[in-house]
Amino acid sequence: TGGHVSVKEAVLPFNRFPEVDTALGPEMRSTGEVMGIDRTFGRAFVKSQTAAGTVLPTSGMVFLSLNDGDKPAGLVVAKRLRELGLGIAATTGTAAYLAKFDQTVDLVVGKLSEIEGSTMDNAVDLVAQGAISFVVNTPHGRGSREDGEAIRKAANSNRVSSVTTVEAALAAVNGLWEQRLSEVEVRSLQEYHGRA
């Protein structure tokens, strides 16, 4: 393959519409596409996200809210976040799952649909306060969909990047890890194809 991987990403204008839920739907239209190229998928993925305007975390706390089917892969995400030196806030169910595998979280956060009248922190407030640097939310089911929508809207309004699939979260954390091992290289397409 020429020793490189390319990742194409659609550019969606969420920053122009802060009240919009960033979960992808059939009515969404991209304003263009960008591409990241590098030696590995993870590094190319990070470049594609950067080019699309998605800021991936290098410090701070990441919020995890995973549906049950995504929790096994989410465990890998949580471990890698720790290796990157990032904090973790998680919903009660996600935190309990991670704890079964000796992965602690820094903050357990209640779902909006479950904490009425409680003093427990919720992700929407934490995002608005600037305490969250990245959101991983993989909704499933009606209640979690409403919670997830509120969280993603808060993230969008406060310019906090988010992903809605565990696959994107895995790609992001693996790419960030790989970038810690060596600096990002900028090369022209001609250099990748040996025609520099």
**Residue ranges per domain, the chain?**
5-192
Task: State yes or no: pLDDT of 181 exceeds 60.
Answer: yes
Best CA proximity match to 182, nearest among 21, 76, 43: 43
**Which structure tokens are listed for 176?**
């960030």
- Do the beta carbons of residue 162 and residue 135 sit within 8 Å? yes
Cβ atoms < 10 Å from Cβ of 177 = 16
- Who wins on pLDDT, 42 or 64? 64
First to last CA, the chain: 18
- The DSSP string of 110-132 is B-TTT-TT----BHHHHHHTT--
Best CA proximity match to 141, nearest among 97, 103, 171, 111: 111
Strands of the 61-66 sheet, one edge to the other:
107-109, 87-91, 61-66, 134-138, 162-163
Cβ atoms < 10 Å from Cβ of 196 = 9
Band of pLDDT at residue 144, cut at 50, 70 and 90: low
Cβ atoms < 10 Å from Cβ of 166 = 22
Q: How far apart are CA 34 and CA 10, in angstroms?
A: 6
pLDDT of residue 24: 47
- Who wins on pLDDT, 136 or 187? 136
Q: How far apart are CA 67 and CA 80, in angstroms?
A: 19
Task: State yes or no: pLDDT of 26 exceeds 50.
Answer: no
Say which CATH topology domain 5-192 has.
Rossmann fold (3.40.50)
